[in-house]
Amino acid sequence: MRRPGRRAELGMQVLWILMGSTFVLFGCIGFLLGGFGLPRINRTDLLDLLLWGVFLIWQLAPVLFEGYSPGLSFREIARYPVSFRVFFLLNAAYGLSDPAAITALLWLLSFWLGLTFARPGWAFTAALALLLFAVFNLLLNRIVIAQFDRLQSTRRGRERMVFLTFMVIILLNLLQINASYLTRVRGVKIAPWLSHAVTEVREFSPQGMAAQVFLGSGVAELTALAGLLLYGLAAYLLLQRQLRVVYQGEIYAETYTVRRKKKVRKGWRLPLVDDVTAAIIEKELRYIRQSGRLLLQLIYPPIIFLVFIFNGPVRKLPLQPVWMLAGVASFMLLSLPNLAYNTFGMDKEGFGRWLLSPPPLQKVLVAKNLTHGGLLALVYLFFLVIIMAMFHLRATPAITVTVAFAAALVIQLGTGNVISVNWPRRVELTQMNSKMSSQAAGLVALLVMIPLSMIVGLITFASWYWKVTWLPLLCGLVILAISLKLYSFVLDRVARYAWEHIEEITGNLSA
Amino acid sequence: MAEIVLQTLALRRTFGPLIAVDNLDLRVEKQQFYGFLGPNGAGKSTTIKMLTGLLRPSGGQVRILGRNLATDSAEIKRRIGVVPEGLSLFDRLTGAQLLNFVGRMYGLSRRVAAERSEDLLEFMDLKDSADKLVADYSHGMKKKIALAAAVIHGPEILFLDEPFEGVDAIAATTLKRLLQRFISHGGTVFLTSHVLEVVERLCTHIGIIQNGRMVASGSLEELRNGVKIAGHDHSPLTLEEIFLQVVGGDRQNAEVLSWL
């Protein structure tokens, strides 16, 4: 903790906790008001929607936010002399330490308080319903997390997981885009079958059942309670089945078929780079290919962009192509920290191999940066071609934005190198709870992007004010030259720092 | 006089108030099989890290193949091979990809790296697992692939930190065969090990370190002549007896564990 790096990391953690607490607090107020207000205005039919909110945060947040849940391998716990009953209870109870679970429980409590203030007669039945609902969510969350961990353990599983997460994100974005479209268009009629299906899902979901327990009366209340109990029982049995296999020593290792190959294939040869650099790029790309999350972050921007531009109403927005390209460039630069801000993270103990090998660390960093920068540049090029072809973007603004993108990329990569040696973090490709970079990295990415955006804004304003159209390009070229010079300076400093702190870095990257 | 390929002069490393290596003077000649022994925490791994450039010495000098490690590290690294503590493997590459990659990092052409990877996989009996991720290798297989990675570029000196730790008899035999072959072709080996029988059988020279200081060094014969144990019969001392005598490791009181 004596080192500035560690202090920054702690500071960042405190900041995240403060931001998270604010989010949770506002959520609590919202649930309290919702639980109180909806019955008072006789819109009890909407109460289950609040429970959907709880359900989504509890189940999706740990999956969508990488490295966010606390990590404890229950495969290790199974090695201790604990009975299966204790093992099961430990696993379930451990789910309560997940930030999503804590958030959801606080929201449920606020919701219950709101309901009790509004209708004191509901206090007991609502408490019972929400408790059962919470137990169901807790068990389901443990099943989901264990299933994702299992998927992460094999190459094919990781690919499936990328696809699954990708589809969820796309679906959410499509819903969001179309929801904003529907709010602007009057007279849209939803197909009766769809409306009916939504009603059915709401009614028979655990959320709907939980609401029915305190909203309904007599048979309806008992039926809902029985339904909720059934959901809980099903989750309990599923989790028990899943955990029993782990308890009995199942290892999710990569299945492997022995194939006797005749020859070891030669390594890659790449244009414009020497053999050592090509070897490092090959290794980096092989690693990235195995990281579903990184792949997702690379594929995500172009797909969302395509959804965005091919979406009818959005296409009619008066957005200039140059700003579209600039927006895309910024979006991509913000996704860079996951790739480049913990450049040795996936290497883990392999970091020592870079130090044992003859090429200087500067060369290794350049090769890694070429890989990460090259990947981003390829995606950017894809956007550029589409925007130029579809929106008739002229060459001069296209070159200007590209130069600015290149300059920002160099600055981001250099910053990434500094962060990588100051806050290295071991990345486990096979674990859900493994973060791709340190928390401080996110803050630094923003600290780099904000002044860069301000500079771009100033240059754009000056160009518009004085009507000097060539000014942005000239400034972009100057900034690019300066950033390249700075980058070479930073590289030497980073390499020297790494050598001076070998043990600390190796310690952070080792198990 | 034999060529000195490794020499340290008053090598020292401290961690705060702890002196891990204290004015260590080492001399290893070409084609020697040098076993560097010591009890846990004696400073063996710290020394080997300093010799391979993984740790900066607090004082003193390391000279390898006539060059100063502090000023000529790139050239020295090109001529040595290392199996470090923890192995430092890129475990998300397959065995074949790893060897290929390491070979190219040492400047081998794509063709030579692929050919040597093939040969080493064959020799190490890893051919069937060539396309398997190193992460899924057993401990012994990892040791073998690490040794293969250390020799792929044809080094002149090999530094091995506990190469036989946790390795079964079959894997150990493969490793020993490779090391003997390496020595017979002019190489030099510097290894640390806790397996004294292996050291006794393989090493031509031995150094024993304790509390960061060299307490005994020389050939096994020289060590035998230098150590006298009261009441010992006339049969030659084993390395284990010499080791225990030198580091004073026979003082444990079994009575402490009377409950066991």
Residue B50 near residue B11 (C-beta atoms within 8 A): yes
Residue A98 near residue A432 (C-beta atoms within 8 A): no
B240 confidence band (pLDDT: 50, 70, 90):
confident
How many Å lie between the alpha carbon of B252 and the closest alpha carbon of chain A?
Answer: 30
pLDDT per residue as tens digits for the range B20-78: 999 999 999 999 999 999 988 899 989 999 999 888 899 999 999 999 999 999 999 99
Dihedral over alpha carbons A477, A483, A484, A487 (to 10 degrees): -170
What pLDDT was estimated at residue B252?
61
Whether B4 has a pLDDT exceeding 70, the answer reads yes
What pLDDT was estimated at residue B93?
94
What pLDDT was estimated at residue A315?
57
What's the one-letter identity of residue A208?
Answer: G
Contact A502 B56 (CB under 8 A): yes
What pLDDT was estimated at residue B6?
95
What pLDDT was estimated at residue A27?
94
Interface pTM, i.e. ipTM: 0.90
Q: Which of A2, A264, A273, A430 to mutate to test the interface with B (most CBs of B within 10 A)?
A: A264
Q: What are phi and psi of B209, to 5 degrees?
A: -115, 140
Distance CA A225, CA A205 (A): 12
Contact A266 B136 (CB under 8 A): no
pLDDT per residue as tens digits for the range A318-351: 667 888 888 888 878 877 887 888 899 889 889 9
Whether A255 has a pLDDT exceeding 70, the answer reads no
Whether A119 has a pLDDT exceeding 70, the answer reads yes
Residue B54: its H or E element:
none
Contact A352 B54 (CB under 8 A): yes
The token duo for A472 is 């942005």
What's the one-letter identity of residue A183?
Answer: T
Q: Is B3 left (phi over 0), alpha (psi -120 to 50) or beta?
A: beta
Sequence-ordered list of residues with C-beta below 8 angstroms from that of A251, at least 6 positions apart, any chain: A75
- Comparing A5-9, A51-55, A327-331, A493-497, the range with the smallest average pLDDT is A5-9
Whether A66 has a pLDDT exceeding 70, the answer reads no
Q: Is A313 left (phi over 0), alpha (psi -120 to 50) or beta?
A: alpha
Sequence-ordered list of residues with C-beta below 8 angstroms from that of B42, at least 6 positions apart, any chain: B209, B210, B211, B212, B247
Q: Which residue has the higher pLDDT, A79 or B91?
A: B91
- Comparing A48-57, A146-155, A287-296, A300-309, the range with the smallest average pLDDT is A300-309
**Chain A residues touching residue B74 (CB < 8 angstroms):** 358-360
Contact B118 A503 (CB under 8 A): no
Q: How would you classify the pairing of strands B205-210 and B213-219? A: antiparallel
How many Å lie between the alpha carbon of A506 and the closest alpha carbon of chain B?
Answer: 10
Contact A503 B55 (CB under 8 A): yes
Dihedral over alpha carbons B98, B102, B105, B106 (to 10 degrees): -160
- Name the range with the highest mean pLDDT among A221-225, B100-104, B207-211: B100-104
Q: Rounded mean pLDDT of A94-117?
A: 92
Q: What are phi and psi of A176, to 5 degrees?
A: -65, -45
Whether A354 has a pLDDT exceeding 50, the answer reads yes
Give first-to-last CA distance, chain B, whole Å.
55
Would the pTM of this model clear 0.90, i.e. be above it? no
Q: How would you classify the pairing of strands B188-192 and B33-37? A: parallel
What pLDDT was estimated at residue B27?
93
How many Å lie between the alpha carbon of A291 and the closest alpha carbon of chain B?
Answer: 10
Q: Rounded mean pLDDT of A479-492?
A: 93
Q: Which of B67, B90, B115, B133 to mutate to test the interface with A (most CBs of A within 10 A)?
A: B90
**Chain A residues touching residue B78 (CB < 8 angstroms):** 358
A73 confidence band (pLDDT: 50, 70, 90):
low
Whether A173 has a pLDDT exceeding 70, the answer reads no
A1 confidence band (pLDDT: 50, 70, 90):
very low
A105 confidence band (pLDDT: 50, 70, 90):
very high
What pLDDT was estimated at residue B146?
95
CA distances (Å), B224 to each of A166, B142, B243, in order? 69, 35, 10
Choose among B91, B110, B132: nearest Cβ to A267.
B110
What pLDDT was estimated at residue A239?
92
What's the one-letter identity of residue B11?
Answer: L
Distance CA A505, CA A422 (A): 8
Contact A260 B54 (CB under 8 A): no
Distance CA A96, CA A77 (A): 17
Q: What is the mean pLDDT of chain B?
A: 89
Residue A305: its H or E element:
helix A292-310
Dihedral sign from CA coordinates of A164, A169, A172, A177: negative
Q: Which residues pair with B100 in a beta bridge?
A: none
Residue B148 near residue B158 (C-beta atoms within 8 A): no
Whether A82 has a pLDDT exceeding 90, the answer reads no
User: Residue A300 in 3-state DSSP?
Assistant: helix
Q: Which class for A108: exposed (0-12), middle (13-18), buried (19 or more C-beta within 10 A)?
A: buried
